[in-house]
Amino acid sequence: MLSATVPNNETRKRIRRIQNDLLGMQTTFLRLLSDSSFTGNQLLQEWSVQCLNYWRCIELPLCLSALAESDVTGSSLLDIGSPKLAPLWIANNFNFSQVLATDISDYFVRDLDQICRALRIEHVDSTVADAVKLPYPDKSFSAVLSVSVIEHIAGSGDVCAIKEIARTLCAGGIAVVSVPFWRCSLEESTGSGELYWENHTENSNGRVFYQ
């Protein structure tokens, strides 16, 4: 997990490089979007307008920097629900033989697979998986990444997800997990129809747990 320490100068420079890398991918996405076969690819449409939004402009590069700083080696990385730009960047900057991109819903699978084929990235696999009950054997992954995900799991789901991450992580592996921080506890719900994971979480009188 990320520590609460202030990044040193070397880390700040790495974060800035990663930010520039992620933003620089927009040119590639714009080129792909000019191909009519990508009509309807929601990920590509989103990234061609804004690769790195306000909420993730520091958090995502910081998490990827922590992964890079760890100098992790191994065959596989599991991404749990992070922004889908992360698996693409990881595939281009690490030597994992497999980068497994997962989420609670299949909204991203077709779009990410299409983008990977176009970019000839063969070792990113997209699939649906529930963080509280990962369908993988013990010690399956050298690294696990999860950016602003577990706080959105209702009930004790956050604790279950951390246990699942620990279970599926190889000895000596690294888990990079980020969550919001505030001085006091806060629980929010939102109106029905606003969340892509709505059908997979607790629903009470039309209100869906958010974080």
Which residues sit opposite 178 in a β-bridge?
147
11-15, 172-176, 177-181: segment of lowest average pLDDT:
177-181
CA distance 64 to 77: 12
For the segment 114-162, what is each residue's pLDDT rounded down to a tens digit?
999 999 999 999 999 999 999 999 999 999 999 989 888 877 888 999 9
- DSSP assignment letter at 21: H
What integer pLDDT is reported at residue 7 of this predicted model?
Answer: 73
pLDDT digits (tens, 9 = 90+) for 56-66: 898 999 999 99
E strand or H helix at 101, and its extent?
strand 98-103
Confidence (pLDDT) at 43: 93
Over the chain, what is the mean pLDDT?
Answer: 86
Contact by Cβ (8 Å): 124, 87: yes
Is the model's pLDDT at 192 over the cut of 90?
no
Give the Cβ contact number of residue 199 at 10 Å. Answer: 10
Query: pLDDT tens across 34-72, in order?
Result: 999 999 999 999 999 988 888 889 899 999 999 998 878
Q: pLDDT digit string (tens) for 76-102? A: 999 999 999 999 999 999 999 999 999
Tell me the pLDDT band of 200, cut-offs 50, 70 and 90. low
pLDDT band at 186; cut points 50, 70, 90: low
Q: How confident is the model at residue 2 (pLDDT cuts 50, 70, 90)?
A: very low
SS (H, E, C) 142-189: EEEEEECCHHHCCCCHHHHHHHHHHHHEEEEEEEEEECCCCCCCCCCE
Query: In this structure, is the dihedral angle defined by the CA atoms of residues 85, 91, 96 and 100, taken in order, positive or negative?
Result: positive
Sequence-distant (6+) residues with CB within 8 A of 97 are: 75, 76, 123
* CA–CA separation, 39 and 32 (whole Å): 10
pLDDT band, very low/low/confident/very high, at 211 (cuts 50, 70, 90): low
Nearest-angstrom CA–CA distance, 124 and 144:
14
97: its two tokens: 């033989």
Query: Residue 31, CB half-sphere, CA atoms under 13 Å: how many?
Result: 8
Contact 65, 17 (CB under 8 A): no
Which residue type occupies 140? S
Phi, psi angles (nearest 5°) of residue 48: -70, -20
